[in-house]
Structure 1
Amino acid sequence: MEFLSNTVTLSRMQFALTAIFHMLWPVLTTGMSIYLIVVEGLWLKTRNPDYYRHARFWSKLYLLNFGIGVASGLPMGFQFGTNWAPLSEAVGDFLGSIIGFEGSMAFMLEASFLGIMIFGWERVNPVIHYLATILVAFGANLSTFWILTANSWFQTPAGGEMVNGKFIIHDYFQAILNPFMLNSFLHMFFATLETSLFVIGGISAWYILSDRYSEFFAKSFKIVLAIVLFVAPLQIYIGHASGDQVSHYQPTKLAAMEAQWETIPAGKSANWSVLAIPNSKAEKNDWEISIPNGLSYILELKPQLSHPVLGLKEWKPENRPPMIGLIYYSFRVMVGIGFFLVGLMLWSVIQWLRGKLAPHVLAQQKWLLRAWVLAAPLGYIAIESGWIVRCVGRQPWTVYGQIRTADAASHLPAGEVLASLTIITVLYSVLFVSALYFGSRIIRKGPDLNLPIPGHQIKTVIATESVTHLPDSRPLEAQQ
């Protein structure tokens, strides 16, 4: 229980808790906003009321996730001033502006037009409402851009230099466009979209299996599948590109991801470890299953390496990432889920081509639908695992190669950090239970298929008033 008296460890645990919990909610809002653009666009084009009612139904889950995301995200920002003040002092000129951009550009844009998107159906022109939906989605994903810009800069700091313990920016755009930024943003963008699509598809599959609104949710199931057809394979490709960058810029992280202790020189083949039991004390894997030449093909698409793969023994223990086993298996969980979702997509497409996804026979595909229900939470697990690899694998550095984590933490009494960690844990538990309760209520209730279409009520009222105020053409005697 020594960690209870270690301020740095407790501060890291607190930031990890807030980051892991907060990330659950923007994942769905950023990805689902793209889906809402699609279904509302289909409604405007076809005037099919089902698409309108899909937009209304899924926007309820969007609003719930937005609210929990706002509440859970506040402690994260405060920690830069409370638990990580030396870090903020050292890199605040860049980090502060990026976080400010996220709040002023992205969050405010999303929040400003969210009210129109949720409550403006009967109050604004349909085209204006659609523009509001697009701006909400743009704001949500712009937020992802700025957050990933800041985190990528921590991974590959660029655009300046450390001077007397403070990072001085010489080229602001070079700092923003740091080597990790583009692939990191794209990887996260498609991760949130893929996760949201499988959540929507999983909920739709659950309704169809339960024989509730089957024809209605067959539409959302097919829309999701049509988008996933492109997103799932593309996400694998971008993830591979991100791995290439790790091998180039952060070789210690790559060694931890693969539990590679010994250096493999150029000209040799490298096996890929499928499963292993890393032993940091003995600096070896106690047990391992590997694929011959597997790592060579993953890194360079050929059996022999052109460049050496450095092993963990190349660095002193204090300069290696901690918790090798956690990094190693988090990476495999992320990759495994990615390929599982691609496989599920292929299975679904095959059944679609065979005509098995027509509304009147879709309910017969019980195993396929059950697989989609199972897949609904997997994207969250993959994203959280990926962030563990990304951030724990960066250790012992907060700003890679520039500021060590031990030097970035505020000098606070351990008891105070433990108290705040406990309070945040309780509050997040309440938020999590509340989100599950209200989310399950929305899903159990289901969509309102009698929801009036915007414009129809106004036309009905006008027609009724016109009839009511028509002059009575009957003879006076008949009127009396």
Structure 2
Amino acid sequence: MDFDPLLLARLQFAFTITFHIIFPSFTIGLSAYIATLLILRLRTGDARYARLARFWTRIFAVSFALGVVSGLVLSYQFGTNWSRFSVVVGNVIGPLIGYEVLTAFFLEASFLGILLFGGERVSPAVHAASAVIVATGTAISGFWILSANSWMQTPAGHAMIDGVAHPQDWLAIILNPSFPYRFAHMMTAAYLTTAFVVLAVGARWVLAERHYDEARIMVRMAVGMIAVLAPLQVIIGDQHGLNTLKYQPVKVAAMEAHWDGSKPGDFHVFAWPDEKAETNRFAISIPRGSSLILTHDPDGLFPGLTSVPPQDRPPVKNVFFAFRIMLAVGGAMVLVAMTGAVLWWRGALFTTGWFLKVASHGWWLGFVAIVAGWTVTESGRQPWIVSGILRTTDATSPVPGGSIAATLALFILVYGGVFSMGIYFINRLLARGLVGGASQPPGTGTPLRPQSAAREAGRGVLGQG
């Protein structure tokens, strides 16, 4: 059997990066949430915040470990499957990844131990400070990784000498044209992802009448965060799209399945892009909708896919459908945000059972949106691995397809086992709930048997005397 090394190398990297991105996106938001809880505990002295922080720190530890394990493989793949990529742009990408390790990873690793084990050993102020430092470290990690990825999308600050990229202006490299929008978009997505997980857990506890006060705190904090960030993400996404239109117009054309740039673009709610015929089948469209969104003019024009040869176009179906999945999930997030805010304003947030049931099942929204968004970003850059510098077909290593297929199968097995164990432990922690002094709703709990009740009443009387 013949194996295509390029296809298998791409599948292997796509599999590992999709698996990996789930965990950093969650830990970025979760570390910030834990830091917020510990700061609130420090300011108010309320033990409920400490219990919540202790609970979520355990989940953070498992997620952080899974992110580290899954991320190590990505760096090795640059050398094993993508050696030409390392040769051509390693002078730029290598230092950016190195800065992430030197600044962010060491910062996180140094203070993670205090966060995990210092709750009863250090003062509340030191414990809160360690949480803030870990949260800062995760954000810095996202900064460098997104800077490197954005440079691959919109390269700047370099010079090509003998086919190799050499840094000329590090500030231009780091703050390349798409980086500010991509960083804001991704960080907001990470915080939204965590907010929906917190909301789901809090809603489940409210419905089950577990950890009464703490559950209400989680729901209120999550709804408040979502109500702010979900609409903000729409604005950031719009600006990111306009930036992409300026620097990567073919990607936008694939997102919209827009073929003819001489005509205003319709927004296709659904369509089946036919890349051979250069048309859309079964289209359900809003006339001139894409032109209105992208140019703020219903008659505005923007480049179509036919503006470049077929070999320079991204895989349209992948980009088109991933973009619509991201939009649909984003719309659901905004709907949850608006509904939760209205119910909170009316004082019905904890008495509206249907909303709590919906919220309790919405933990997955952020993860799906992030994976779909990254699919748009990475597939939309094709056929380039570094836009305008290096094509994906020219970036691979001279490795036999059979070897890549074998390692891909091994990765699937190992990652499947690691993921299953991680999810198992996280579910165990969720089922266990809070430890130590968690509150319950008034009038709930297991009733005492008559003799036990009499004994407790007698102790109360003696205690009063």
TM-score, normalisation: structure 2: 0.92
Write the mapping of 1:112-261 to structure 2, written as runs, cut at 5 A.
112-261=110-259
Once the two structures are TM-superposed, the CA of residue 373 in structure 1 deviates from its matched residue by: 2.1
Q: For residues 183 and 270 of structure 1, what CA distance do their matches in structure 2 show?
A: 24
Partner of 1:414: 401
| Distance in 2 between residues matched to 1:416 and 1:179, nearest whole Å | 38
Deviation, 1:214, is 2.9
- Return the letter of the residue paired with 1:286: R
Equivalent residue, structure 1, for 2:370: 383
The answer to whether the 8 Å contact 1:200/1:224 transfers is: yes
Larger radius of gyration: 1
Give the aligned partner of residue 387 of structure 2.
400
1:257-406 aligned at under 5 Å gives the runs 257-265=255-263, 269-305=264-300, 308-322=301-315, 324-357=316-349, 362=350, 364-406=351-393
CA displacement 1:391-447 (0-9 Å, x = unmatched): 011000000011000001111011111111111111100011101110110011110
Between the two proteins, the alignment pairs up a number of residues equal to: 438
Query: Residue 283 of structure 2 aligns to which amino acid in structure 1?
Result: E
Measure how far apart 1:317 and its partner are.
Answer: 1.1
Mapped to 2, the partners of 1:33 and 1:252 lie a distance apart of 37
Structure 1 SS opposite 2:297: coil
Distance (whole Å) between structure 1 residues aligned to residue 71 and residue 132 of structure 2: 23
Instruction: Show CA shifts across 1:266-308 (max 9, x none).
Output: xxx4321111011112111111011122112211223221xx3
Question: Please, which runs of 5 or more residues in structure 2 have no aligned partner?
Answer: 439-465
CA contact (8 A) 2:227 2:340 kept: no
* Distance in 2 of aligned mates of 1:300 and 1:319: 24
**Secondary structure in 2 matching 1:263:** coil
Partner SS for 1:273: strand
Q: Structure 1 unaligned segments of length 5 or more: list them.
A: 452-480
- Contact 1:330–1:386, Cα closer than 8 Å, also in 2: yes
Q: Which of 411, 424, 444 is equivalent to 1:437?
A: 424
Letter in 1 for 2:171: F
Amino acid at match of 2:37: V
- Secondary structure of the residue aligned to 2:93 is helix
CA distance in 1, matches of 2:121, 2:209: 35
**Larger CA deviation: 332-341 vs 62-71:** 332-341
How far is the alpha carbon of 1:390 from its aligned partner?
0.2
* Aligned pair partner of 1:51 in 49, 52, 74: 49
Determine if the alignment matches structure 1 residue 88 to structure 2 residue 86.
Answer: yes
Q: Residue type matched to 2:326 in 1?
A: M
Q: Distance in 2 between matches of 1:297 and 1:310?
A: 14
- Confirm or deny: 8 A CA contact 1:205 1:370 kept in the other structure: yes
Query: What is the match of residue 460 of structure 1?
Result: none
The code of the aligned residue for 1:432 comes to F
Check the 8 A contact 1:264/1:270 in 2, yes or no: no
Alpha-carbon contact 2:118-2:127 (below 8 Å) kept: yes
State the superposition RMSD in angstroms. Answer: 1.3
The answer as to whether partners of 2:258 and 2:265 remain within 8 angstroms in 1 is no
Please tell me whether the aligned partners of residues 291 and 302 of structure 2 are also in contact (alpha carbons under 8 angstroms).
no
Q: Quote the offset at 1:356 in angstroms.
A: 0.9
Give the deviation of 1:216 after TM superposition: 2.0
Describe the SS at the equivalent of 1:5.
coil
User: Residue 302 of structure 2: SS of its match in structure 1?
Assistant: coil
CA distance in 1, matches of 2:110, 2:291: 50
